Amino acid sequence: MAVADKTSGFAITRLTKGRMPVLPFLRMKGRVLGKKYVLSLVIAGDAYSQKLNRTYRKKSYVPNVLSFPLEKQSGEIVLNLRQAKRECRSRNESFRFFTALLFIHSLLHLKGYRHGGTMERQEQQLLAKFHIKNSSRP
């Protein structure tokens, strides 16, 4: 199932069933990448995301998220909610919080950020801006 809005430059394609947390994906995309950026968000399962990870990154593990810049103003994020759900428990984070963190993390990669303190600070600022808190923490 695909949901697209041509005016926003944002489309979501679901390749798997299951619960998807309610998050302001479009607003987050606009805040990080801008309104002109065309983004595709694919909700995928283990097999598909692992295949992409092997093909494009030469890694064999099942990833929670992958980011693919396609052109200067377009990209794709492949989000594996099953893997995110498994990982959020061990991180003591809510599924909603961890999904938002993964999405923001991927947006920042598409923006050109690399792992490190600057990226982590941006992630925390964006989570706060969108009032996304970890409800699993005491």
Annotated binding site for Zn(2+): 105, 109, 115
- What stretches of 1-138 show up as alpha helix (H) in DSSP? 25-33, 46-57, 81-91, 95-111, 117-129
Tokens of 36: 């002109």
* Most distant CA pair in the chain, distance: 42
Query: Which amino acid makes up residue 64?
Result: N
Annotated binding residues, as ranges?
105, 109, 115
Q: Is the dihedral of CA 68, 88, 125, 34 positive or negative?
A: positive
Separation between Cα atoms, residue 133 and residue 135, nearest integer Å: 6
Which residues have a Cβ under 8 Å from the Cβ of 99 and sit 6 or more positions away?
20, 21, 23, 79, 81, 84, 88
